[in-house]
Amino acid sequence: MTKEQANRTQQEASENPDLMIENQVCFSLYSAANAIIRAYRPMLKSLDLTYPQYLVMIVLWQYDGINVKALGNKLHLDSGTLTPLLKRLESKQLLSRVRGEKDERVREIYLTEQGQKLKAQAEKVPNQMLCKSKLPIDELLTLKTGCDKIYENLEEGE
């Protein structure tokens, strides 16, 4: 029996559709998320930002002075991820990390002038991404609703 025949026999004998990669919602979601981060890379190149850094900047453009804990709540990330990321953005002169006056445990994150200015360049990114996705708005909205639901359901149990 050839190796090919052996493989085919094994494949046929082992059909549990739930364990096949092609049938897994989670794998589709995981691959799509990776693809999205890859797709953002060239667009964010000119801003010298990674996708998670771009997310942090988006929050800061709206909530300048926010602290690490609140930022983590908005982005669903913890200080283990955010602290080094914020230090990288600080070293790029986009923000400063200031100890809270009232409570010295907290770090408040303030945009520099350079960080504020970057917003103008970022304004065009969402529409570029919309075009790249090649999906109609209603499908994107359905997708967003599904992602938000599964996120809520997975997180609420802890």
The helix or strand, by DSSP H or E, that contains position 146, with its residue range, turns out to be helix 137-156
Q: Quick one: 10 or 91, whose CB is closer to a second copy? A: 10
Q: Quick one: 6 or 35, whose CB is closer to DNA? A: 35
Residues 55-114 that bind a second copy (CB under 8 A): 55, 58-59, 61-65, 74-76
Could you give phi then psi for residue 88, rounded to 5 degrees?
Answer: -65, -40
From the CB of 45, what's the least distance to a second copy, in Å? 14
CA angle 92, 96, 97 (to 5 degrees): 125
d(CA 49, CA 47): 5
Site map 50..89 versus DNA, x via CB under 7 A: x-xx-------------xxx--x---xxxxxxxxxxx-x-
d(CA 95, CA 83): 13
From the CB of 68, what's the least distance to a second copy, in Å? 16
Name the binder of 138 from DNA, a second copy, none, CB < 5-8 A by kind: none
